[in-house]
């Protein structure tokens, strides 16, 4: 009984102390509606359900999103995801960066790294179906300028 209490006590203590370990998400960049990516309706629907949590200003934070240690993973995904690609400010990017993004999308679809697997564990509806993969792929591919 005493051991059990010790375990419970240490676990609670650790979780409490962990709350001081937080990764700060930088403030979302300023954006107007005109800065947001424009794409066909079916592409927008895919981006919004499968990518926007980490790649836009419109993050839907899960209930555990601010509780450490989960928040460490959640916050770093949002911070790094937005830094690489933020669909809310897409039209502020120059053509070179946009090209890099279209190529990156084709690439990540091929190697199936997006959305990240740990995110899919908790967001089943974000998993891309074969059909969605094709829609997203064909859209990004059509915008790549070969030179
Ligand atoms: C759970 C958060 C999350 C979701 C959801 C997510 N991404 Fe990402 N994405 C990231 C992070 C973080 C990075 C930064 C690079 C890294 O850590 O791999 C990234 C990087 C990328 C890159 C850059 C290539 C690379 O591997 O470095 C592309 C392209 C990309 N994401 C596309 C997408 C697309 C398209 C979707 C939706 C189908 C999506 N992402 C959904 C977090 C996410």
Residue in 58, 114, 119 to alter for ligand 1 test, most ligand atoms within 8 A of Cβ: 114
Give yes or no for residue 105 CB within 6 A of ligand 1: yes
Helix ranges restricted to H, the chain: 2-18, 41-50, 52-55, 70-84, 95-111, 117-122, 130-143
pLDDT score recorded for residue 75: 97
Separation of CA 114 and ligand 1 centre (Å)? 5
* Averaged pLDDT in 10-residue chunks for the chain of 147 residues: 93 93 93 97 98 98 93 96 98 98 98 96 96 98 91
Q: Give SS3 for 44.
A: helix
Separation of CA 32 and ligand 1 centre (Å)? 22
Give yes or no for residue 114 CB within 6 A of ligand 1: yes
Per residue in 99-108, pLDDT tens? 999 999 999 9
pTM (two decimals): 0.92
């Amino acid at each position: 009984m005493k051991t059990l209490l010790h375990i419970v006590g240490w676990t609670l203590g650790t979780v409490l102390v962990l709350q001081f370990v937080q990764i700060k998400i930088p403030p979302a960049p300023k954006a107007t509606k005109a800065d947001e990516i424009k794409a066909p309706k079916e592409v927008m629907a895919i981006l919004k359900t499968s990518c926007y949590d980490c790649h836009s200003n419109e993050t839907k934070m899960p209930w555990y999103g601010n509780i450490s240690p989960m928040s460490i993973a959640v916050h770093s995904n949002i911070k790094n995801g937005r830094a690489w690609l933020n669909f809310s400010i897409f039209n502020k990017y120059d053509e070179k960066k946009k090209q890099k993004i279209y190529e990156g999308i084709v690439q990540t679809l091929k190697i199936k790294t997006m959305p990240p697997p740990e995110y899919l564990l908790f967001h089943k509806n974000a998993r891309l179906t074969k059909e969605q993969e094709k829609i997203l792929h064909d859209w990004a591919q059509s915008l790549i300028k070969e030179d």
